[in-house]
Amino acid sequence: MGNIRVLSDELVSLISAGEVIENPSSIVKELIENSLDAGATNIETSITEGGIGSITVSDNGSGIMKEDCPVCTLRYSTSKISTKEDIDSILTYGFRGEALASVAAVADLVIVTKHQDEELATRLVSRAGEIPGIEDASRPTGTTVEITNLFKHVPARRKHLSYPRVESQRVLDVTMRHAIVRNDVGFRLVRDERVVLDCPPGQTERERVLHLWGPDVAASLVKFQHKSGEILVSGFVALPPVSRGNRGRQYFSVRNRPIHDDKLNQAVESAYSSLLMKGRYPICSIRIDVDVEKVDANVHPTKREVRIQDFDSLIEIVRTAVREALDADRLEEAPLPLQDFVDMPLSERLISAGESEEDTTFSARTLAEEPLLFERVTLEELVTDGVEGPEQITLGGAFKIVGQIQDLYILLEFDDGLVIVDQHAAHERIIYERLKAEMKSKSIVTQELLEPIVLRLNAADKDAILSAEEVLNAIGYSIESFGGNEVLVSTLPEVFGHRANEEELISLVDRIVELGVRAAAEEFMDNVLKVIACHSAIRAGETLSHKEIASLLVDLVKAPNRYNCAHGRPAMIKFTRKELDKRFGRDGPQALSRFRARHRLRR
C-alpha cells in the first residue's frame, strides 16, 4: 500500500485555517476587512481575555442576504471574484473565501446579519463538527459576528497563544492600522468591557492621527505627498526626537490595505539617516497608491504582504519621499532674518562690545507649546533693535550664556527655563553638515592599491556587487570579476583623509543586498562623514570661552538638523521653568498645601 493519501475535508479545513488564523488579531483583521468591503461606516470590536475568551465584531454595512448564509462559512465561498480575470484587478480587502470558513473550522461562530434589501435579519449558529443552524432574527442593517471557544479542537494551537495582555495589544495594533488608513470609517474597540479606542467616522487625517497616537506624536508630524510616474506616496512622518524603541509605529498600506514589509521599514529608517540614535525608530504612516494591475495581493494567506512590480524602484521612491518631507520641514526652520544675523561678524553678534563675555545673551524662539521634555529649541529669527550705543540682539526672551558644566555641557538661561547644549554633539553636527555640503561640490579621491584586494563571496553577493559596479566606481571603488566567486578591488575611496578599508567594503555589499544600490552607496558615504565629524569635533574636557561658545551656537543655528549630533543623539535639551518648579516642589497640590499652611489660609 502506498504512503500518499488524499486528506479528509475536515483535516484540510484545519490546515487551511491554520494558515489564515494565527491568533485573535488574525480573526479581527479578517472581520474588519469584511466589514469594510460591506461599506460599513462604523465598526465595533469587543474582546475578552485578549480575544481568547470571545471576539465580537459588529458593523453597519450592507449585510448578508439570507440565501447566502448557508454557504458563507464554506471554503472558497466569496462574492468578491467570479473569474480568473478578477484576480488581476482586485479592489476589495477579502476575496479568497477563507475568512469565515477558517474561523468556523477552529471556533464556535454566531452570525446575526440583515441585508439592506431584506426586512428580517438572519441568525446563523456554527459549531465545529455540526451542521450550521439558521433562523430569523432582529437587528438593524449590518452584521455582527461572535466567536467563542477559539481553537477548542486544536488544543496545540491554543497552548501557543500568548498572554491575554499580549493578544489584546495585537488586536489593538490591527485595529489602529486599519483606522489610520480609513479615517472615513468609525472604529471602536472594547476590551474586557472597557473602551480603549473610539474614533468617530469622518475625521480628517490629522484628527485621526491625534486620536490614535496622541498629542505628543501628532504635534511632531509632517504631512507629505510625493508622485513619481504612476506611483503616489503620501502620509505622515514624525520629526526627531519623537521616535520609538521598536518599529511598532511604522504603518504602511498599499491601496488602503495595511501591509508589513521589512524593506519599506529599512527605506524609511535610511531616510532618517543621522536624525535618530541607534536603537530608536521613526514613526510614520505611509500610503502607497499604484495601479491595481501592478499589485498582487494573493501572495499571502492573510494578505498581510503584497507583491508590487518593480518593487526596488518603489523602495527608492518611498525613501526619497520621506527624506524630502524631513528636508522641507527643516528649510522652514530658517527664515530670512536669520541670514542677516549669521552673516554678521562675531563681535556684532555679542550684546555689547563693552560688556564682559559673561553677559553674552542670544534671542530665540522656543516651541513652548510642545508637551515634550526634550523639546526642539530653535536659535533663530534673530533680529537687531536700533538703540543708542552698540546693537543689542532681542526677540521675546533672550538666551544668556551661563557657562560650561564639567567642560562638556553648555548651560544657557532663557526667560522660561534652561537649555543644556552638548558641545561635542553640537560641533559634530556642524562639521558633519559642512562635510556633506563639500562632498556635493567635490569629486571623490581614489587611492590606487599596490596589491589589489580579493574578495571571496558567495554567488548571490558577487552578483549584487557586480550589478552595483557603476555606483561603486562613482564613490571610488574599482571592481572586476576575478573568476569563480571572487571579486578584485583595485582602488578605494579616500574622503577628507579617511581611506576606506576592506571591512567597510564588505559591509557595503551587505547593505546593497538589503537596501539596494543607491541607498547603500549613500549610506556608506554618510557613515564615513559621521566618523570624520565625530573625530574632528570638540571633545569632552575642552574649556571654551564665552566668545567660543557664542561662535559655536551661531554656527549651530546655521546647521540643518541642529537638534541632534550626526549619530542622532540630542545636541540640546530644554527644561522649562514649570518642569523645574515641579522637581523642586514649587508646583502642584503639595506646594499649594504648604503655601496655605504657611499663610494660614482656609480652603
Residue 524: CATH number of its domain: 3.30.1370.100
477 in a structural domain: yes
If asked whether residues 398 and 410 sit together in one domain, one would say: yes
* Distance in angstroms (rounded) separating the CA atoms of residues 428 and 542: 14
If asked whether residues 32 and 50 sit together in one domain, one would say: yes
Q: At a CB cut-off of 8 Å and minimum separation 6, what does 356 contact? A: none
588 in a structural domain: no
If asked whether residues 68 and 146 sit together in one domain, one would say: yes
Per-residue pLDDT tens over the stretch 232-283? 999 999 988 788 888 889 999 888 888 888 888 988 998 887 788 888 899 9
Residue with cell string 462604523: 42
507 in a structural domain: yes
Boundary-marking domain end, from 484, 512, 536: 536
If asked whether residues 84 and 96 sit together in one domain, one would say: yes
Q: How far is CA 342 from CA 253, 265, 339, 393, 472, in A?
A: 43, 38, 5, 12, 38
Can you read off the three cell numbers belonging to residue 458? Answer: 558567495
Say which range, 43-47, 370-374, 419-423, has the weakest mean pLDDT. 370-374
Query: In this predicted structure, what is the pLDDT of residue 128?
Result: 66
Q: Is residue 386 classed as helix, strand or coil in its secondary structure?
A: coil
Q: What percent of the chain has pLDDT over 90?
A: 19
If asked whether residues 69 and 215 sit together in one domain, one would say: no
DSSP state of 364: -
If asked whether residues 180 and 43 sit together in one domain, one would say: yes
- Please say if the pLDDT value at position 319 is more than 50: yes
491 in a structural domain: yes
Predicted confidence band at 98 (pLDDT cuts at 50, 70, 90)?
Answer: low
Computed over every residue of the chain, the mean pLDDT equals 75
* Distance in angstroms (rounded) separating the CA atoms of residues 573 and 563: 9
If asked whether residues 50 and 189 sit together in one domain, one would say: yes
Say which range, 83-92, 223-232, 336-345, 531-540, has the weakest mean pLDDT. 336-345
596 in a structural domain: no
Say which range, 42-46, 316-320, 360-364, 480-484, has the weakest mean pLDDT. 360-364
What's the CATH code of the domain at 281? Answer: 3.30.230.10
What's the CATH code of the domain at 29? Answer: 3.30.565.10
Boundary-marking domain end, from 141, 172, 198: 198
Distance of CA 395 to the CA centre of its chain: 35
Taking every pair of Cα atoms in the chain, the longest distance, rounded to a whole number of angstroms, is: 109
Ramachandran region of residue 193, left (φ > 0), alpha (ψ -120 to 50) or beta?
Answer: left
379 in a structural domain: yes
* Distance in angstroms (rounded) separating the CA atoms of residues 570 and 552: 16
* 97 vs 234 pLDDT, higher one: 234
Boundary-marking domain end, from 331, 364, 387: 331
On whether the CB atoms of residues 395 and 386 are closer than 8 A, the answer is no
Per-residue pLDDT tens over the stretch 529-586? 787 788 778 888 888 887 788 788 878 877 777 778 888 888 888 888 888 888 887 7
User: For the chain, how far is it from start to end, CA to CA, in angstroms?
Assistant: 93
What's the CATH code of the domain at 559? Answer: 3.30.1540.20
Residue with cell string 555606483: 471
Structural domain boundaries enclosing 484? 443-536
If asked whether residues 324 and 252 sit together in one domain, one would say: yes
If asked whether residues 399 and 424 sit together in one domain, one would say: yes
595 in a structural domain: no
603 in a structural domain: no
* 582 vs 141 pLDDT, higher one: 141
- Determine if the pTM surpasses 0.75: no
What H or E segment, with its residue span, contains residue 318?
A: helix 311-331
Per-residue pLDDT tens over the stretch 388-417? 333 333 323 456 788 889 889 988 887 778
User: With 0-12 CB in 10 A as exposed, 13-18 as middle and 19+ as buried, what is 329?
Assistant: middle
On whether the CB atoms of residues 322 and 267 are closer than 8 A, the answer is yes
If asked whether residues 218 and 300 sit together in one domain, one would say: yes
* 295 vs 472 pLDDT, higher one: 472
- Please say if the pLDDT value at position 155 is more than 70: yes
Residues belonging to the chain:
603
Predicted confidence band at 306 (pLDDT cuts at 50, 70, 90)?
Answer: low
On whether the CB atoms of residues 287 and 253 are closer than 8 A, the answer is yes
What's the rounded mean pLDDT across residues 289-304? Answer: 62
Q: How far is CA 197 from CA 60, 242, 248, 433, in A?
A: 18, 22, 17, 43
Query: In this predicted structure, what is the pLDDT of residue 231?
Result: 86
If asked whether residues 166 and 234 sit together in one domain, one would say: no
Residue with cell string 509632517: 222
If asked whether residues 94 and 164 sit together in one domain, one would say: yes
How many domains does one find in the chain? 4
Distance of CA 42 to the CA centre of its chain: 26
